[in-house]
Homo-oligomer: A and B are copies of this chain.
Amino acid sequence: MDETDFSLSEYEARLARIRVAMAAQGLVALIVSDPSNMAWATGYDGWSFYVHQGVVIGPSGPPLWWGRGMDAAGARRTVWMGEEAIHGYDDSYVQNPDKHPMEVLAALIRDQGWAGGRVGVEMDNYYYSAKAHAVLADHLDLADATGLVNWQRLVKSPAEIARMRRAAGIVEAMHKRILEVAEPGLPKNRLVAEILHAGATGAGGHWGDYPAIVPMAPSGMDATAPHLTWDDRPMQRGEAHFFEIAGVYRRYHCPQSRTLFFGEPPATYRRAETAVQEATEAALARARPGNTCEDMAIAFYDTLGRHGFRKDSRTGYSIGLSYPPDWGERTLSLRRGDLTPLQPGMTLHFMPALWLDDGGIEITEPILITETGVEKLSTLPGALFIRS
């Protein structure tokens, strides 16, 4: 068994944590729609979340996998449960306005004898649509359990941390590839081709999985916007190029961003670099068990402010297992008001991006909270990248 494999007892421990949270909310069963939560509970791994599917956790026994009939084959290849836990629905329910697959799910839950109690649903997690909820509500007594599973995922097991370390090695290799090939005049899509190639190739003998977000790679004025992707415009001197990318090992993500200039950056960017570096160090100095997310955030924003910069958005979030469209876990945020205590085994993306009038600067760090403080998962230098 590889150090990144999950044992049956690890899955059982996860299930036990989920059931404690279910009991606290008085739920007899929980319908999990978020593919990251589905995978964490069962191991299910397939790009099938564009149709209705889910995992159902009842009061005892293994979870049930439920989805499109053709995807039951993928469930058999990936989940830890046996054949009796796998339930496929007929293809005529797929994207058909005349019938809805949630009718089938409601019947399955009734057949298990769980329809008399409260059933949790992830009302604000991905891929659980308003229509799915309306159909289920005709048959079951539903309660909102958004984030119930996500919050159980905060503290990583040793096998999960081992996956994160391999992912960190991959994102480092991706940034190194950028530094090797980026040059003025190179069309951006040619650079992205190299980034994608490096990501799937992997690093340190470990293969690369697909990221939950494609490379964000804007330049110049496009870099004033955080979430643009790429086109074929040639890279140019005199503007900022930022790269927000993640290395991924077996669905575990290590995102890390860097900003590149050809030649010496404008003075504003050097000042922003210093501000971000010092504010990052101030925040990481507070990153230890016993402190809260807000403690890190206040240290960051206060230091940034002393340098004359301002950031209106949160400066980090929890990371780990993910599927598109987001590599964050959607639990804690590094911002004022988030009093979540830091615990050993948490993995975060510390994300002090600044968007300026004429571009952006991103120098970010994937980190692990340890027993005594914090560890940077990546060894990349925390500075602007400069190529002549």
Q: Which residues of A contact B (CB under 8 A)?
A: 45-50, 69-71, 73-74, 76-78, 90-92, 94-97, 100, 121, 123-134, 144, 146-147, 187, 189-190, 192-194, 196-202, 207-210, 213-214, 216, 221-222, 224-232, 312-314, 317, 324-326, 328, 330, 333, 335, 337, 355
Contact = CB atoms under 8 A, between A and B. Distances in A.
B146 A97 contact: yes
A193 B197 contact: yes
Q: How many copies does the complex hold?
A: 2
Nearest to A128: B130
14 contacts: A46-B227, A47-B216, A69-B313, A73-B224, A74-B225, A77-B221, A95-B328, A123-B134, A126-B127, A129-B130, A131-B146, A187-B207, A193-B199, A207-B230
A325 B325 contact: yes
B214 A189 contact: no
Given A124-B129, A196-B200, A189 B208 contact: yes
Given A91-B314, A189-B202, A326 B50 contact: yes
Nearest to A102: B124
Contacts of A100: 124
Most B CB within 10 A of own CB, among A125, A193, A326, A330:
A193
A4 to B, nearest CB: 12
B130 A74 contact: no
A47 B94 contact: no
Contacts of A46: 225, 227-229
Contacts of A124: 100, 129-132
A126 to B, nearest CB: 8
A147 B147 CA distance: 28
A201 B190 contact: yes
A129 B123 contact: yes
**A-B pairs with the 7 shortest C-beta distances?**
A130-B133, A124-B131, A207-B232, A74-B225, A50-B326, A73-B225, A193-B200
A45 B229 CA distance: 8
A327 to B, nearest CB: 9
B226 A207 contact: no
Contacts of A49: 325
A263 B188 CA distance: 39
Nearest to A198: B193
A229 B207 contact: no
